[in-house]
Every structure is written in structure tokens, then in C-alpha cells.
Chain A
Amino acid sequence: MRDLVHIIEFEDLLQEAGNDLVRQAKEEGKRALGYTCNFMPEVLLDIPGCFSVRLRAPRSTSPDIATYYMTNRTCMYGRCLLERAMEGGFNFLDAEMATETCTVTCRFQEHLQRMDVIQNPDFFCEFTDVPFKKNENSVDHYARQLQAHVLDKLHEHFGIDVSDEALLKAIEEHNELCRLIREIGEYRKLDNPTITGREFQIIQLVTQVCPKYLIMDKLRDIAEQLKTREPDEKPSWRCKVVLAGSEEDDPDFTKLIEECGALVVADRHCYGSLPGREDIVVKEGETPLRAIARHYLENSQCPRFMEQHVMRDRKAYLANVAKEYKADGIVIAQMKFCEYWSYERTIDTVVLNRDYGIPVCSIEKEYVNNAVGQLRTRFQAFVESIELKKLAQAQKASGGEA
């Protein structure tokens, strides 16, 4: 396939957290607001006068100082973020809008709060409590929290307009971005997709780490190009898979899977678009903030949710994604030391195969992915097993002839 327009530029933008577009937005007087978790609604941080940056630590190697502070028995994502912060890589941040949604990222953010790591006189770090359920009580609670710990703080510190009108504008822009991402993502559903998993991930990541108003035109260009983009005549992939699991912001990891012959056609992980890029709908009589709170709770598929029907529906959701995107299997990748996904991965590995007949490749990985060789072997074996399964099915369909 021909190269996607802007994809090289996007790749460059992912090489550091304080990239060119972040610097440009800062120069234009906008406030950079960091966050780590999907439960900090990016739409609120993209309110006029601010922009959201979902924190990553690209090109990390060995997080030595962070390992002194957090030991080597915690999730490497959290440690690499702390290391990057200590190196000065997040000094552009004006605030960290924190959540205590998983232990290690919470501890990382507490280091920012306690240790004067971010060298920016305006910097502050504020925590929001995020509920574990999706009921009305939780939506109300979440909305109260977002008001007090996000909107009120932004207004207090930076004089940001947090009126309903400002929120509606942010929702409108956010929905526009989501519409573009969905449109781009739709091409993954084709029998022979015209976008690779890696390309899509780069685009999705750029939307999370760059000021959105600076990339909208580029996204439109990509969407336009995809309308006519021709797939390779002979596909380079041998099967299609969903990539599910915990934190995943490394396009090279997706590339590794795809090099083994499995095209990643759907992304249901912390930095993925499924779910995450649905329109926020403000219902009649509902405040924009409550709509946002409801949207982020209702749509999330995080294993942090504890209601019985929600825990169980998560598996059905994932199976539906695989079906909708015509995937042959699911790769469930869990960041080592992630407690939530340790359990979720265990049950997914059994139930998705047993109840939905979907082959699952269940792996554990580090943020700095040094186990490329081992993982390559695992993925190659998985691809082969899917091919064998397909072959057996074809034989069965044709009456069992060899």
C-alpha cells in the first residue's frame, strides 16, 4: 500500500512527550494538562485555553532512578513515566490531572505531587476519585468529582472558562475528532483492510498526546486518502487479530505482531479506540458535565468495574469486537505487574475461547519491550495455530477430504 499521508510526521510526534505541536500550543498560550488514564476525560482537558496530553515515555530504556523510588516490582509504565518526569521530559506540563484508578500510576502521580519533580512554577497535581460502578449513583459522584477536581481547579489556577457553553464547545470538537477516528478505523473492518494496525495506532496515539486543534486537518487528509487507498493485491497478513489488554502505547509492539503475520484490526486496550472514540451525547435536560461523566463510565470496558453484569458483559463486548472486525483471534497483552489485567486476562483466556470459540494468545509484557524474540515465537505459533484451525474448518466444510 502507498504510505499514508502525514504518517511519518505523526511517527515523529510520538518520539517525545513534549513534541513540536505541544510546544507550539504552549507558545500560543495554551495550558498543557497531563493525564494517564482514560478515566480522566480528555474532553474536559481540551476545553478552550487548554489541551490534554496523555503521558507516555517513548524511547525509554532502563528507569533506574524510578526503580529506586518504586522498586522493580511495579508496572514499568509507571516507572518509565517517573523516570521521564525526573529527566525533565514533562516540564512542559502545567498540571497533572490525576486519578487513583490503578495503583502504580497513582503512585507515579503522587511523586509529582510530593517531590517537586516538574520544573514549572505553575504546576499542580490534582486527584479525582473515580467510581467502580456504572450506576446512577456513580455517575452523579463522578460528575461531582470532575467539577470539583478538574473544572474548578482549572478555573482557579488558570482562569479557564468552564461554563456549560465552553464544555459544549469542547464536546463538539471532541465528537468531530472521534468521528474522524471512527471513519479511519472503519477501514479495518474490510475483508482486506486498507490500513494496518500500526498505522491506526500511530494516528490514535497522536490524537491522545497532541493538541487536537493542530492535527484535525491532518486527520481529515488521512480520512480522505483512505477513501481511495488500495490494499495490496496479495495481503501480507495471514490472519487478523484484536489487540486487547492493559496499557499499550508502543506502535512497534503492534508492528511486531503484524510482522508475524497477524494484522491488528481492533484495539481494545487502555490507549486504544475501542471503546473511547464514541460521540458524547448530551441528553435533553442533562448538563454537559453529567453527559461527559455518564459517557466515560458507560462506555468504558476497564476491568476495574465490579458490577456483576458489567464484569460479564466485558467478555461479550470483546467477542463482539472480534466478530465485527472479522478477527480470527485475540491477543491479550498485559503489562507485567498490572493487577487488574492479570485477573482479567486469566478469565478472558478461558472464556473467550470456550464460550465464543475465539482463539486467544495470552501474553505478559514490559513497557520497554525487550522480549521481542520470545514474543515473536509466541505470535508466530499463534498465527500458525489459527491457520491450522482455518484449514481444519475448510476441510470439514468440504467433506473431510485431505
Chain B
Amino acid sequence: MIYKTNEAKEIRLFSKGWLQELKLKEAAAAKLEKLKTTDFKQKAKDTADKIRNLDAKKVARDFIYGKPHEERRLGDLYVPGTGLYKHREWRGVKDTMYYFNMIWLYNYAHMVTDIMKYGGPITALKGAMRYRWMGQCYLTVMHWFDRGLEGTRGEALRASAWHYRGMVNESIRQFMRMFSADKRLNGGEANELWKNTISHDETVSGNIFYGWRDRMDDVALQMIPYFVTCHVNNHTVLNYIDAAQSIGLPGDPCPMCQAEAGIFVLNDVPDYSPVVVTSNEACDGSVGTSILQDWFLDRPLYAMPQPMRYDDPLVQKHCQEEIEGCWRFIEEQTGQKMNWDEYVKHAEAFNKLTEFEHEKWDIAANTDYYPITGVAQALYRIYYSQDGDRDIWHFVDKKVRRIIEKCVTQKINSFPKTRHRVIAWSCAPLYYSHWCTWAYNCWGLNCIINMDSLMFDQMLRTDTYEHALEDLTWFNEKAPMRAMAVGGHEHIFQLWQYMERFNCDMVMMYDQLACKGMQGVHGMFEDEFRKRGIHAIWMPHALPDKRTVSRREIRQIVNDYMFTVMHEEPLDPTLLDFDDNDSW
């Protein structure tokens, strides 16, 4: 059995010298020494003074309602190095109990019931023991919630937590489908589920497969094994990046694409489908990844590329035919005809999600009453829009709508300490998607919207086949990491319009070090920022790989900018610098 210390040292218990390694003796001696040198009389006197000077009313108020923002000292809660909490935050009676009952208990319970619902514990256990991304990540989900919800209160806590609940539920449904259909977990046999599942690259939208959802299911190859796990527990993905490089891939391609290739190199993708649909989204690296994926998957593959110059009216016909080609491919390979009525049903349902998204944007842009954290907004949007219509998204939206309506009608400002309204641009660090909660708690930087939330912004008409195809084409052309990044510099420079639309006064400019597309416009952005007098903080990162730029370094860059350029003081100085290097 292995025990990992706070310094990330792994000690094999009961092996030779394990007790010495644990340094229990030294720890006990240090404690003893401390006790010996402690002046208990003085300490008792100090404590008594403290109690005497306590403002009982304030203590009671802090207990009942939680401490004011500036007094929270959230940084003191961390166990250095680990990202664990000495204790979880006390948010006042109501919010702490809400967190405990409706987030912690509720979600732990649902992590069990969802598994029962979607395939049973045996299947889940088999998957957990077979696939690293499952075995290492699943149970750490609640700490993903913790990181994203740090410091939140009231409606922000509730609305953001519902977003997380939706993402967890759908992730469970997807990996349980993978495991249930997986040949490897089912004695090497292709069962009915295997035959009735379509696998696709995570950058291919689930909307493409609506026509089969009454009989079949579609599950993205890397969405759970790679993308979700980066958010939940970023330790896992490092194995996949290293694996891709172990077969000769250089270190400079986009680490997301490297990791997506690496899960195949390590044979860590379930064998759950007879076919694959892939795409060129979002970039050259995705095309490159397809080469390796095809090699390792070795089964019929349909490439459904999207045009690069996507707002050229001349490209639409070509793209439409490629989508139709994909549909024909599925029909030929699986023998299952596309059901048009099913497509219509899901497309119309998805429009409802998009409608609500537009309403959310409107509130975020024009009021102070938007109760969703930057990280919840960004992740939920990408999870659901990439996945397509599913019941859980409607369930979550219903809950969130109620909260937002309450905020707007009662004029509840969930982020009252906002100093700057921030727009985050380009692609985000997956291992630090929760930087927004830190930035708000520490500096009052409120991330209102991010670039990837703005993609897939297309209603799907269903009145005729032609209209449906036309809109579906547009929808797929405006995919994440892509809508703004390809097809001409005018797309990426839409930042100025969105800044205005969302009333933002600051840009968090993600600087993905291996993204050739964004690196290629770096200087033009610098020029524009200067010319327009816009405060922009460049946030360097390597998408899933925290080894390149750590979270601590990212915070330092933001701190430096806030001190030296903005001349501001932190709201919570304990958050300025802390060690979370080995946290999830």
C-alpha cells in the first residue's frame, strides 16, 4: 500500500524502512520540542484576552452569514502543495449546509445512483480498474466542485453547482456507455451496445448523430478520457502526453492533440464502436492526431472536415455534402437508417438550450445579476454544446433559470466585489479552468464570458431538410477553439465587439504556448491592445500540461499585472501566493 505525503513523496507502507521514511519520530520530536518551549501561561492569557476582546455580535454574524469577502483568508485553508483543505470553507450556516447537503452529499450520492442507472457497479468497477482516466479521477470529482465554487455564496453557489451536476451526470452516462459496450470489458465480444454505438472525435458535435439517437448512441472518443479528466484531476493526462512523445512525437505540437494521441498509444480508450467519425477541428494538430488515431483504432473511418474559410458562402455546399456523406457512412456501416423525425426532435430541443444560453448572455452582458462563475459558464457551455441535446441539460437549465430569474427580479448581485469585468479570450488552460474563482476572490476580477462560450451560436431550423442542413453546417463550422481562430483574422479580432457587447473592461488573454494559430497573431494583438488602451493580461499555459506553466506561475503573472500596472491591492492577500503544485 502506498501513502503519498504532502510533499508528494510516495512511501510504500510496510516495506523496509517505511516508518523512518514517514519521519514520525522526527515529527513527534518536533511537536514535543514545541510543547516544551511553549509558555502555556502566556498562551492562556492571550487566549483569554482574545475572548474578552471578541465582538460577540460579529462572531455570531460571521458564523451565521459567513465572513465578509476581505476577511475570508481563503489561502490559509490550503494544505501546502496538495490543494487539499485543512478544512472546507465556512460560508455561513445556510450556504455551508447547502454546500454540504445539496452539493457534497447530493453529488456523492448521485455518483453512485447514476452508475446504478447507467450500467451497474460491476461495469463501473471493471472500467475503473482498467482505465487510468477513470480509476484515478472518478472519486476526485467533488474536489473539482470545490475548486470551481471556492468563495461563492448564495445564488452563485447554487447556480454554478447545478452546472457541475449536469456535467458530472452526462460524463457518467457517457463513460458507462463506453464500458457497457467495451469489447475489452466484455470478454472480447462485440455485444449489441458495441454495434449500436458511434464513436467520434471529440471535436465532432453530437448534433450530427441526432438521427440515430432513438436506437443508437454516440460517444466522443476523447471527451471523457482526456478533456473531462483534465478538469477533474490533471495528474492523469501527463501520462498520455508522455506516451505520445515516447513513440517519437516532438514536444512542440499542441499538448491537447498530443494527449488525444497518447490515450491511444497507451491503449486507454475503450473499444466500444465499430466505426469512427473524425474531423479537422480545431486545427492542424487535430488533423495530425487523426493520423495516429486511425492507425491505432484501425476500423472504418469517416473524415468530416469543415472548411477553413467558413464564412465564404461558396464553401457551404461542400460542407453540407460532407455531413450528408457522414450520414451515408453511418447508414452503410451500421445498417441503420437515419430517422429524420428524431433529428428534428433533438434539434428543436437543442434550440431551447441555445435560447436559454442567449438569455444568459444577455443578463451577463447587461446586468450585475448574473450568478454563474466564469468557470461554470465556460465548462458547462462547452460540455453541453459539444455533446448536443440530452435530458440532463434541460433539467439543469430549468434549475438555473429559476435562480437567474430570482437574481434579476430581486436584483441580487452575486459578485459584489467586482472591480473589473473580464472577457477571457483564446483557449483556456484546462488544468486551471478555475482561475476565474481565484481571480475574483483575490482581485475582484469577474470573468463574465469567454471565447469558447460564444461558439456554436446557431439556431437549427427544422422546417425543411435544406434549412436543417444549412444550419447544421453553420453550427459545425463555428465549433469551439475554431470559430474565432480560423477563417481569417477578422474572427479572432471580434474580441473588440464582444468586449463592448458584454461590457468588459479587461481581457484575460490566454496564451496557449503551443497553439500556432494564436501565437501567429500575438504581436497584432499586442499592437491593438496598445492602440486601444485596453488592459490585457497574457496568461501563458500549455492547455492540459501544468508542467510547462504552473498554476502558481499563472497567479504570479496576474498578481504582477494587478500590482504594477493597475496599482491595486488584493481583496484577499492570502490568495496571492500559495503552493498547489501537486493538486488535482
Report if B135 contacts A (CB, 8 A).
no
Contact B280 A132 (CB under 8 A): yes
CB atoms of A74 and B487 under 8 A apart: no
Which residue in B284, B308, B312, B488 is a CB contact (below 8 Å) of A339? B284
A144's nearest neighbour on chain B, judged by CB, is: B314
Contact B522 A69 (CB under 8 A): yes
Cβ-based interface call for A23 (8 A): no
Most buried by A among B294, B315, B520: B520
A71 at the interface (CB under 8 A from B): yes
Q: How many residues of B contact A (CB 8 A)?
A: 52
Contact between chains at B278 and A103 (CB < 8 Å): no
The verdict on A350 contacting B489 (CB below 8 Å), with A343-B261, A343-B288 known, is no
Whole-angstrom CA separation of A138 from B477 in the bound complex: 16
- Across the interface, do B517 and A129 meet the contact criterion of CB distance under 8 Å? no
Q: Give every chain B residue within 8 A of A306 (Cβ-Cβ).
A: 278, 280, 287, 290, 303, 305
The stretch from B3-11, B157-165, B226-234, B249-257 touching chain A is: B249-257
Q: Closest B residue to A127 by CB, please name it.
A: B309
- Closest CB in chain A relative to B330 CB, distance in Å: 15
| Chain A contacts for B533, CB-based, 8 A | none
Min C-beta distance of A312 to chain B, whole Å: 8
- Give the nearest-CB partner of B252 in chain A: A337
A70 interfacial contact with B, CB 8 Å: yes
Given known contacts A74-B520, A133-B305, A306-B280, is B252 in contact with A336 (CB within 8 Å)? yes
Question: Given A110-B489, A306-B290, A362-B248, is A131 in contact with B307 using a C-beta cutoff of 8 Å?
Answer: yes
- Give the distance to chain B from A143, nearest Cβ to Cβ, in Å: 11
A100–B249 Cα distance when bound, in Å, is: 24
Q: Taking the complex as formed, is B285 at the interface, i.e. its CB lies under 8 A from any CB of chain A?
A: yes
Query: What is the CB-to-nearest-CB distance from A109 to chain B, in angstroms, rounded to a whole number?
Result: 10
B142 in contact (CB, < 8 A): no
Contact code string B290-305 (vs A, CB < 8 Å = 1, else 0): 1110110000110101
**Quick one: closest A residue to B258, CB to CB?**
A342
Residues of A within 8 A of B288 (CB): 303, 339-340, 342-344
Q: Which of A111-119, A184-192, A198-206 contacts B (4 or more CB under 8 A)?
A: A111-119
Q: Is A349 an interface position by the 8 A CB rule? A: yes
Verify if B513 is at the interface (C-beta below 8 Å from A): yes
Given the known inter-chain contacts A107-B520, A129-B307, please indicate yes or no for A340 contacting B250, CB distance below 8 A: no
Instruction: Tell me if B521 is interfacial: C-beta within 8 Å of chain A.
Output: yes
Report chain A residues within 8 Å CB of B305. 131-133, 306
A197-224 vs B: 1/0 string, CB under 8 Å? 0000000000000000000000000000
The answer to whether B516 touches A110, judged by C-beta atoms less than 8 angstroms apart, is no
User: Does B416 lie at the interface of the complex (its beta carbon under 8 Å from any beta carbon of A)?
Assistant: no
Q: Are A103 and B261 in contact (CB under 8 A)?
A: no
CB distance from A337 to the nearest CB of B (A): 5
CA gap between A336 and B300 in the complex, in Å:
32
CA distance A209 to B522 in the complex (A): 30
Chain B nearest Cβ from A142, distance in angstroms = 9
Bound-state CA distance A102–B283 (Å) is: 9
**Interfacial residues, chain B to chain A (CB-CB below 8 A):** 247-250, 252-254, 257, 261, 278, 280, 283-285, 287-292, 294-295, 300-301, 303, 305, 307-309, 312, 314-315, 317-318, 321-322, 325, 486-489, 513-514, 516-517, 519-524, 526
Those 8 A-B pairs whose CB atoms lie nearest each other, nearest first: A107-B520, A69-B523, A343-B288, A141-B318, A306-B303, A132-B305, A339-B284, A129-B309
12 intermolecular pairs with C-beta atoms under 8 Å apart: A71-B519, A73-B513, A73-B519, A74-B519, A102-B284, A103-B283, A137-B318, A306-B290, A339-B287, A340-B288, A349-B248, A350-B248
